[in-house]
């Protein structure tokens, strides 16, 4: 496998964790992100149809992993959180747009997302398509509307916009989605499956982490280390999604399970089996944690999130 390395024991790599409380950290960050998302949407009772559709999907209670990873990566390199939360919110908008389109009848044709009716079910198919388009364009409006007071700030934000655009585009997330659609009814090999997921799921996760490191003024070496971390947890996240689609609780997950098998999709459990898939995900997390040995305790949120990637129930 392209990014797989033999992992060392979790015990040794947890020595830097101390008593870090991930649940409290996630709760705090989610509250900040949700408040900022509402502010950017500027929704009220007189909102337009498109605004209501955008809000329906964006505020449906997602995990906010990508924006939180962005903030955590900034902290890990010694940066301060962006009070406006522009980049984290833009990343969540792009992720949500991809889910709206992924749920459409032309793709996965799902009725539930995050425990609520999908956008095209709650509204209609045309409105859902436009809501996704609107979230994507709003994300880049937010990213490009920062006040640029000095030359270094200009280059930093241009780099962020370029990083996110590449990860979201036809050489990143969209290419991964195309590969996923084309693979239905076919049996992929492990290398092809990894390539698909690195693009479909991993690209935006990696962009979230790199964006945070850039905004935190991380060094070249710090960013390169975090890229390795990101590639491993991005794939571990998808492996866990595949596992949860087999044995997850639909009530907790807020969506149906067993859909991958029904659509004849190639997944890690279908190729490796459940036990080996779980072992593979655990080794990916171990590899990510090894990379973080380069950092001090400011990277504890990233360490804890690596564990959360495979311990989560939704």
Which whole number is the average pLDDT over 71-94?
91
Q: Supply the mean pLDDT for the chain.
A: 90
Q: What percent of the chain has pLDDT over 70?
A: 91
Question: Over 60: is that where the pLDDT of 6 sits?
Answer: no
What does the DSSP assignment read for 156-212? HHHHHHHHHHHHHSTTTHHHHHHHHHHHTTS---HHHHHHHHIIIIIHHHHHHHHHH
Per the model's pLDDT, the better-predicted residue between 162 and 150 turns out to be 162
So what's the pLDDT on residue 10?
A: 47
Question: Over 50: is that where the pLDDT of 7 sits?
Answer: no
Query: 113 forms bridges with which residues in the sheet?
Result: 116
So what's the pLDDT on residue 276?
A: 96
Q: Model pTM?
A: 0.91
Q: Which of 1-5, 41-45, 187-191, 198-202 has the lowest mean pLDDT?
A: 1-5
Q: 148: pLDDT confidence band, cut at 50, 70 and 90?
A: low
**CA dist., res. 245 & res. 257, Å (int):** 5
What does the DSSP assignment read for 22-70? HHHHHHHHHHHHHHHHHHHHT--TT--HHHHHHHHHHTS----HHHHHH
pLDDT (tens digit per residue) in 236-272: 999 999 999 999 888 877 777 888 888 888 999 999 9
CA distances from 304 to 29, 61, 116, 169, 242 (A): 14, 21, 28, 29, 21
Q: Which residues contact 159 (CB under 8 A, 6 or more apart)?
A: 214
pLDDT (tens digit per residue) in 37-80: 999 998 555 679 999 999 999 999 889 999 999 999 999 999 97
Question: Over 80: is that where the pLDDT of 5 sits?
Answer: no
Which whole number is the average pLDDT over 290-303?
96
List the domains of the chain with CATH numbers: 10-311 (1.10.600.10)
């Amino acid at each position: 496998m392209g990014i797989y390395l033999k992992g060392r024991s979790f015990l040794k790599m947890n020595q830097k964790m101390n008593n870090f409380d991930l649940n409290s950290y996630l709760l705090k960050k989610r509250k900040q992100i949700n408040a900022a998302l509402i502010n950017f949407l500027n929704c009220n009772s007189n909102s337009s149809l498109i605004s209501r559709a955008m809000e329906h999907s964006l505020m449906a209670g997602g995990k906010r992993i990508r924006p939180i990873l962005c903030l955590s990566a900034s902290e890990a390199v010694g940066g301060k959180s962006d009070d406006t939360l522009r980049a984290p919110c833009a990343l969540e908008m792009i992720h949500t747009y991809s889910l709206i389109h992924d749920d459409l009848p032309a793709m996965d044709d799902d009725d539930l997302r995050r425990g609520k009716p999908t956008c095209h079910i709650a509204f209609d198919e045309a409105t859902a398509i436009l809501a996704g388009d609107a979230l994507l364009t709003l994300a880049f409006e937010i990213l490009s509307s920062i006040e640029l007071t000095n030359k270094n700030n200009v280059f930093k934000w241009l780099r962020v916009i370029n990083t996110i655009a590449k990860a979201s585009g036809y050489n990143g997330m969209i290419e991964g989605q195309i590969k996923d659609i084309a693979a239905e009814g076919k049996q992929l090999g492990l290398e092809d499956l990894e390539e698909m997921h690195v693009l479909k799921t991993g690209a935006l996760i990696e962009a979230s982490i790199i964006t945070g490191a850039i905004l935190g003024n991380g060094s070249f070496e710090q960013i390169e280390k975090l890229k390795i971390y990101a590639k491993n947890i991005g794939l571990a996240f998808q492996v866990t999604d595949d596992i949860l689609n087999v044995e997850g609780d639909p009530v907790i997950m807020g969506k149906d399970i067993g859909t991958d098998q029904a659509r004849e999709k190639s997944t890690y459990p279908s190729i490796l089996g459940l036990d080996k898939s779980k072992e593979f995900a655990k080794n990916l997390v171990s590899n990510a944690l090894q990379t973080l040995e380069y950092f001090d305790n400011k990277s504890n949120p990233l360490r804890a999130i690596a564990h959360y990637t495979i311990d989560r129930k939704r």
